[in-house]
A and B are shown apart, each in its own frame.
Chain A
Amino acid sequence: MADLSVKVAGVEFKNPVIAASGCFGYGHEYEELFDLSKLGGISVKGTTLTRRDGNIPPRIAETPSGMLNSVGLQNPGIDYFIEKELPYLLKKDTVIIANIAGSSIEEYIEVAEKLNDTSVHMIEMNISCPNVKKGGAGFGTSCDMAASVTKAVRKATNKPLCVKLTPNVTSIAEIAKAVEAEGADAVSLINTLLGMRIDTRTRRPILHNNVGGLSGPAVLPVAVRMVWEVRNAVDIDIIGMGGISKGNDAAEIMLAGADAVQVGAALFNDPFACVRIVDELEKWCEVNKVDKLSDISGGVVTW
């Protein structure tokens, strides 16, 4: 049997398949169906300093081979997470990644600092959020803002720090370089791509927020391309995601340069997607005579 274990930012994962932030809650619901210890890791729902109720529904729209969401970071706040959810998750024999978000650099710092006294294994900092103080443009859309929030949080935390990048930029590789320079241990990509759907009968957008983030199989080729570009631009580890629904998709994104992968929207189609992908990766290794899966990272042979 092939060795599926991988290492990201110094953290050991038993396999490269991580449940993506926002798609897996805090694990309780999927735990009814399978043992959480089968997962390489869990990236929990994006957490902010205080409770957020999120956007007005409808918050989901189907798209060809995918979906849009406009949840708007609904979460109970970092204190609740640390007190009520984290201790339970840490007993589950899988890597727990705290996904954090904020609307100012100060908020990111405060959330990160609160996690210092916990045993959470890694921080994934989502920088797709609007910077309220700077007119609402996403932290992740300019090299300067991405660099300053990374620098600040790097100082504030003693945890391995992974910065989650948005694909809604001209050059994701430039943003990756900027956060690497400020001390990020890894980057994860891609977050959702901005999209919109309209009900032609009512002439209303389906999402109450009008626009939302596209994910699911439709975005896989974009994710593969972006992971590959980032792999060619930085030396730090990469967690690849976007549209993965099969073992072969995971292998593809690893060949493009990812060290581990996350699976999100595919769970809504098949609630067993993550554990099925682990099994399929094992078979992929067998068929392709790979003894250690991590050896394939970045192994694409380009023309």
Chain B
Amino acid sequence: MKYLQGIYKIIEKTALSETCFSFVIDCPEVAKISKAGQFVHILPKGKFLRRPISICQIDYEKGTLRIVFEIRGEGTQELSELNIGDDIDMIAPCGNGFEIFDNAKKIVLVGGGIGTPPMLGLSDIYKEKATAICGFRNKDAVILENDFLSNNTNTIICTDDGSYGIKGFVTDSLKAECEKGDVDLICACGPTPMLKAVSAIAQENNIECFVSLEERMGCGIGACLVCACKTKDENGEKMSHVCKNGPVFNAKEVVL
């Protein structure tokens, strides 16, 4: 475990939709030690608590991190108003990222809405070995499709209302992929009901599955114990902490 706190510069800003933004942050010392699935803990100006945002992409050569976030409340609103050249205060990289399986031949990445960004970091690693199944409310909410495609990752977009891609839930497409029988790893991030369904499908098909969880946070590093989630092992159930023991957990270990 290693993280830093510092003030870094935003060097790129893109609006991906009306409410969704992408920043590239210049932070060589942080990028060097970051892994897909970890998060940054950002302090919006004027707020008391920091906001956890997943690392979306890491450029080890340029020493930059990309984050993608949606406006959900005052803190993310404040962040969305920052521009290129502005400073951003963060503790990073936080938590444990995704374990990378070099031998995996077919990996399915499941992203639900704003849970999609960390899946792109895995697409950067697994490239054409990965199939991304990403679900959104409607056409306007779809993000990062071209980024997945440029990695030659097979990309399936689902929308709740059918206004783009396949109409329906990511879990229907996931089931279809699993039935093909060659999937050996599933990684997922999104709302808890989705993660629950994904875990169940993985278990039925006996496929290794990792999920990235969300919980409200204080310190972001494991000291205050506010971000609890229930996990289980051979000794029974206990409380783990999303910021330190996660946000990525083996689906078998977490009680959703």
Judge whether A57 and B229 touch: CB under 8 Å: yes
Judge whether A67 and B48 touch: CB under 8 Å: yes
Q: Which residues of B contact A88 (CB under 8 A)?
A: none
Take A29-B222, A267-B219, A268-B219 as given contacts and tell me if A67 and B227 are in contact as well, using a CB distance cutoff of 8 Å: no
Residues in A lying within 8 Å of B, measured CB to CB:
22-25, 28-30, 32-33, 45, 53-54, 57-63, 65-67, 69, 71, 74, 206, 216-217, 265, 267-272
Take A267-B219, A268-B50, A269-B49 as given contacts and tell me if A59 and B5 are in contact as well, using a CB distance cutoff of 8 Å: no
Residues in B lying within 8 Å of A, measured CB to CB:
1-5, 43, 47-50, 91, 215-229, 238-239, 244
Take A60-B49, A74-B239, A268-B50 as given contacts and tell me if A32 and B3 are in contact as well, using a CB distance cutoff of 8 Å: yes
Take A61-B216, A62-B49, A65-B48 as given contacts and tell me if A271 and B228 are in contact as well, using a CB distance cutoff of 8 Å: no
Q: Which residues of B contact A53 (CB under 8 A)?
A: 228, 238-239
Judge whether B239 and A269 touch: CB under 8 Å: no
* Contact among B47, B48, B218 with A69 in the assembled complex (CB-CB below 8 Å): B218
Judge whether B227 and A57 touch: CB under 8 Å: yes
Tell me the total A-B contact number using a CB cutoff of 8 A.
97
User: Secondary structure at chain A's binding surface: helix, strand, loop or mixed?
Assistant: loop
Judge whether B47 and A30 touch: CB under 8 Å: no
A268 to B48 alpha-carbon distance, docked (Å): 8
A73 to B214 alpha-carbon distance, docked (Å): 22
Q: Which residues of A contact B47 (CB under 8 A)?
A: 62
Q: Which residues of B contact A61 (CB under 8 A)?
A: 216
A267 to chain B, nearest CB (A): 7
A216 to B238 alpha-carbon distance, docked (Å): 29
Q: 5 shortest A-B CB distances, which residue pairs?
A: A25-B223, A60-B226, A59-B226, A29-B223, A29-B221
A45 to B50 alpha-carbon distance, docked (Å): 21
A187 to B32 alpha-carbon distance, docked (Å): 46
A60 to B226 alpha-carbon distance, docked (Å): 6
Take A53-B239, A67-B48, A217-B48 as given contacts and tell me if A45 and B219 are in contact as well, using a CB distance cutoff of 8 Å: no
A181 to B17 alpha-carbon distance, docked (Å): 65
A60 to B219 alpha-carbon distance, docked (Å): 11
